[in-house]
Homo-oligomer: A and B are copies of this chain.
Amino acid sequence: MTTPRWLNAPETPYLLIDESRYVRNITRLYTHVEGLGSQVRPHLKTLRSPEAARYLLKHPDSPATVSTLAEAEGFADAGYTNILYAVGIAPHKLARAAKLIKRGVNLHLLLDTPEQALALADYARQHEVVFSVFIEVDCDGHRGGLPPDREALVALARAVHGNGAVLTGLMAHAGESYGCRTDEAIRQAAQNECDAIRLAGRRVRELGIPCPVLSVGATPTAHFSTELAGITEVRAGVFTTFDLVMKNVGVCEIDDIALSVVTTVTGHNRDKNWVFIDAGWMAMSRDRGTASQATDYGYGLVCNMAGQPYDGVCLSITNQEHGIIALSADASLTTEDFPVGTRLRILPNHACATAAMHSVYQVLMRDGQQRTWNRITGW
């Protein structure tokens, strides 16, 4: 497809989403997970966009995951009603959560401590509300949650269920899988994530607590799972757009990356073989996720406006509103190949971090037309 002329119209830097790749990425994961008999509860934190969510959530009660109450409220405003707020609940946030529940949203809260259960029971009693709760299960020591074999897990399930709350499910997140270096390691992480949540599920259900939902997920494990027996749902977020970190982990190819930042060349330092662009860290974020991976892309991989990468050409240095593409001295490309005014597309290290720097996205639709998607901002 030729590159539509409208791509040269919006002020730079701007964030561009390629709808065709976006749809392909979604189809790939949904087909995989549904083929294994489970369903996707997409994490909406990457784009935080109601327009983007329409591709993922087919019905008002399609399951969704969010990382802030601002997202829960924004997606509720967009008509979605089955929302897991997948960050441990802070007691002072219960009033906002209760307000969503009273609006008719099936909001699920996450916790892993007795203090949270107590705060929630107190609030529920005082305000005549019943919370739907997930307990976080720690499958790999990555962050929070209770190990599935600990007494603390069943104790917490008992403390939660019936005390102002219904224990709807258990949730694990194989966060360590982002550090995997082989497909086999990701497959093992996926198996481990499922095994942990199934063990936790058996132990809680043996108490007579139904706990109907077993939820797993991280973008790498979601794509490499080989069986999902008994797993109700799989969460993944960055898979819709992917990024260079995911390419390095081995979950996608460069050609799958659906998000880029469009920038303009503003000058050169010919002595140093530097090209200056108007995308600095304000447009790209400070994320250097590929620094510790097999291929370090600096602050991003440089492509032409058709989306074709220049081999080995990266955004090397960023200041707030300046980017520097340092061309290597022996490269076939020189500053003459990037005249002032040239537009380029930069693929990001980490889509979630780059998207967070923009409040609106331009979308290249499959038919070449332009759309605008909006981001829900704040907390």
Residue contact B266 to A87, C-beta cutoff 8 Å: yes
Question: Which of chain B's residues have a CB closer than 8 A to the CB of A115?
Answer: 339-341
Residues of B within 8 A of A87 (CB): 266, 278, 321-322
Beyond the given A116-B267, A281-B287, A286-B286, could you list 11 further A-B residue pairs with CB under 8 A, ordered by the A residue number? A12-B90, A12-B92, A12-B379, A88-B266, A91-B341, A143-B269, A143-B322, A143-B324, A282-B379, A285-B286, A320-B352
**Cα distance, A88 to B341, chains bound together (Å):** 11
Residues of B within 8 A of A269 (CB): 138, 143-144
Q: Which residues of B contact A324 (CB under 8 A)?
A: 143
User: Which residues of A332-363 have CB atoms within 8 Å of chain B's CB atoms?
Assistant: 339-341, 350, 352-353, 356-357, 359-360
Determine which residue in A90, A112, A272 has the highest number of CB atoms from chain B within 10 A of its CB, and name it.
A90
Neighbouring B residues of A113 by C-beta, 8 Å? 267-268, 340
Asked if A207 CB lies within 8 Å of chain B CBs, one says no
Kindly provide the distance from the CB of A254 to the nearest chain B CB, expressed in whole angstroms.
22
A285–B268 Cα distance when bound, in Å, is 28
Number of copies of this kind of chain in the complex = 2
Instruction: Select from chain B the residue with minimum beta-carbon distance to A68.
Output: B321
Which chain A residues have a beta carbon within 8 Å of chain B's beta carbons? 11-14, 45, 67-69, 87-93, 96, 111-113, 115-116, 119, 138, 141, 143-144, 175, 264-269, 272, 276, 278, 281-283, 285-288, 319-322, 324, 339-341, 350, 352-353, 356-357, 359-360, 377-379
A361 to nearest B CB, angstroms? Answer: 12
Contacts of A13 in B (CB 8 A): 379
Q: What are 28 A-B interface contacts by the 8 Å CB criterion?
A: A11-B69, A11-B379, A12-B90, A13-B379, A45-B320, A45-B321, A67-B321, A87-B266, A90-B264, A90-B266, A90-B278, A90-B340, A92-B264, A112-B267, A113-B267, A115-B339, A115-B341, A138-B269, A141-B272, A143-B319, A144-B276, A175-B319, A281-B353, A282-B356, A282-B379, A285-B285, A285-B286, A320-B352
Cα–Cα, bound, A76→B1 (Å):
42
CA distance A285 to B280 in the complex (A): 14
Whole-angstrom CA separation of A268 from B114 in the bound complex: 11
Q: Cβ of A93: which chain B residues have Cβ within 8 Å of it? A: 11
The 3 closest A-B pairs by CB, nearest first: A286-B286, A115-B340, A88-B266
Could you say which of B119, B264, B283, B377 contacts A359, with CB atoms under 8 Å apart?
B377
Known contacts A67-B321, A282-B356, A353-B281; is A340 also within 8 Å of B267 by CB? no
Q: Which residues of B have CB within 8 Å of A360? A: 378
Chain B CB count within 10 A is highest, among A91, A266, A359, for A266
Complex alpha-carbon distance, A119 and B264, angstroms: 14
**Bound state CA distance, A287 and B353, in angstroms?**
11
Contacts of A285 in B (CB 8 A): 285-286
Q: Is the CB of B67 within 8 A of A320?
A: yes
A319, B289: Cα distance in complex, Å: 12
The residue in A12, A13, A144, A339 that gathers the most chain B C-beta atoms within 10 A of its C-beta is: A144
Residue of B nearest to A237 (CB): B320
